[in-house]
């Protein structure tokens, strides 16, 4: 019983041979593919217009089409610094359009500034004419309000103020268009992946009791601790690879639907009050790591 490597390998093979474990991994992977694919179209937007004959015409646009159009249109401004000239050009582009018609304009004519306008709309009552100074001031005020709401100390606020100096001025890039969908799906992922762990490991100790092998194990003086840790390590190994596989299938499905463009965008393009000098791709990676860690625990 002193050969820990042999014990570990034996327990690993026992877990790998369980058909139930393979079945649940396949089923959960299939569920992720199905759920993400079914949700990809999102809500359908119906736009009404009058044709030349005076007839009412309805145009149905899926949420997926809106996101893809927004990404493709925003390529014209990707890489531009969000300074006065950037906002002045946006203002010039949409200044002649009534505020209540901007949604239709972005969907049907030109969606270049659709995402940028959405960011500004969360900071200003009238976001059509905004300067860079007004934008960064409003962002700072929102950050400070958030820190106050979380009861951060002055030293903590000073730390985050220093971090914000690394993200200004921002360089615009349309973030990965599947980001919000993926964040929403993580609520489901946090429920199904720990379930995966429970099913894969449900017999790791009970099987020895059922086959009465535990009586043989307990007869050896130094068997219990070694075998216990061999089982725990083997269980962690199986759960780790099973969770990584399911998460990998989920990410592959998302990338197949939404593409991979936009992972390098700064995280402020998704959450404008974030002070983290990092990218959307890094945040998504960290979230996946936390899901795996949570599952292991």
In whole angstroms, what is the distance from residue 270 CA to residue 184 CA?
A: 13
Per-residue pLDDT tens digits for 27-73 = 999 999 999 988 877 666 665 555 566 665 566 677 788 888 889 99
Kindly list the distances between the CA atom of residue 68 and the CA atoms of 109, 111, 226, 257, in Å, as whole numbers in the listed order. 14, 10, 55, 10
pLDDT at 85 over 90: yes
Return the closest-CA partner of residue 262 out of 277, 276, 275, 281. Answer: 281
* Nearest Cα residue to 38 out of 66, 62, 72, 68: 62
Question: How many other CB atoms are found less than 10 A from the CB of residue 214?
Answer: 17
pLDDT recorded at residue 2: 57
User: pLDDT > 90: what percent of the chain?
Assistant: 45
What is the pLDDT, as a whole number, of residue 213? 67
pTM, to two decimals: 0.83
What is the mean predicted confidence (pLDDT) over 214-218? 65
Q: Tokens in use for 36?
A: 């993400």
Q: What is the mean pLDDT of the chain?
A: 85
What are the φ and ψ backbone dihedral angles of 46, each rounded to 5 degrees?
-105, 120
Average pLDDT over residues 126-141: 89
pLDDT of 223 > 70? The answer is no
């Amino acid at each position: 019983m002193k050969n820990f490597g042999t014990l570990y390998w034996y327990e690993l093979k026992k877990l790998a041979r369980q058909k139930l474990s393979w079945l649940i991994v396949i089923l959960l992977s299939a569920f992720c593919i199905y759920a993400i694919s079914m949700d990809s179209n999102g809500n359908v937007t119906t736009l009404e217009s009058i044709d030349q004959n005076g007839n009412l015409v309805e145009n149905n646009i899926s949420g997926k089409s809106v996101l893809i159009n927004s990404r493709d249109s925003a390529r014209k401004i990707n890489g531009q610094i969000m300074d006065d000239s950037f906002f002045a050009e946006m203002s010039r582009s949409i200044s002649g359009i009534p505020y209540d018609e901007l949604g239709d304009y972005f969907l049907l004519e030109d969606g270049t500034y659709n995402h940028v306008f959405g960011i500004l709309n969360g900071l200003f009552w009238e976001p059509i004419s905004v300067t860079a100074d007004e934008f960064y001031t409003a962002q700072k005020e929102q950050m400070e309000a958030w820190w106050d709401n979380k009861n951060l100390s002055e030293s903590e606020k000073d730390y985050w103020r220093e971090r914000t100096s690394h993200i200004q001025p921002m360089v615009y890039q349309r973030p990965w268009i599947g980001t919000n969908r993926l964040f929403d799906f993580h609520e489901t992922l946090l429920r199904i992946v720990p379930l995966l762990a429970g099913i894969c490991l449900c017999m790791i100790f009970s099987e020895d009791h059922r086959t009465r092998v535990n009586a043989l194990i307990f007869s050896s003086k130094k068997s219990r601790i070694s075998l216990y840790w061999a089982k725990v390590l083997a269980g962690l190994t199986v759960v780790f690879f099973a969770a990584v596989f399911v998460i990998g299938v989920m990410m592959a499905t998302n990338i197949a639907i939404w593409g991979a463009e936009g992972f390098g965008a700064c995280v402020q393009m998704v959450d404008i009050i974030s002070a983290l000098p990092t990218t959307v791709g890094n945040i998504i990676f960290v979230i996946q790591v936390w899901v795996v860690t949570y599952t292991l625990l």
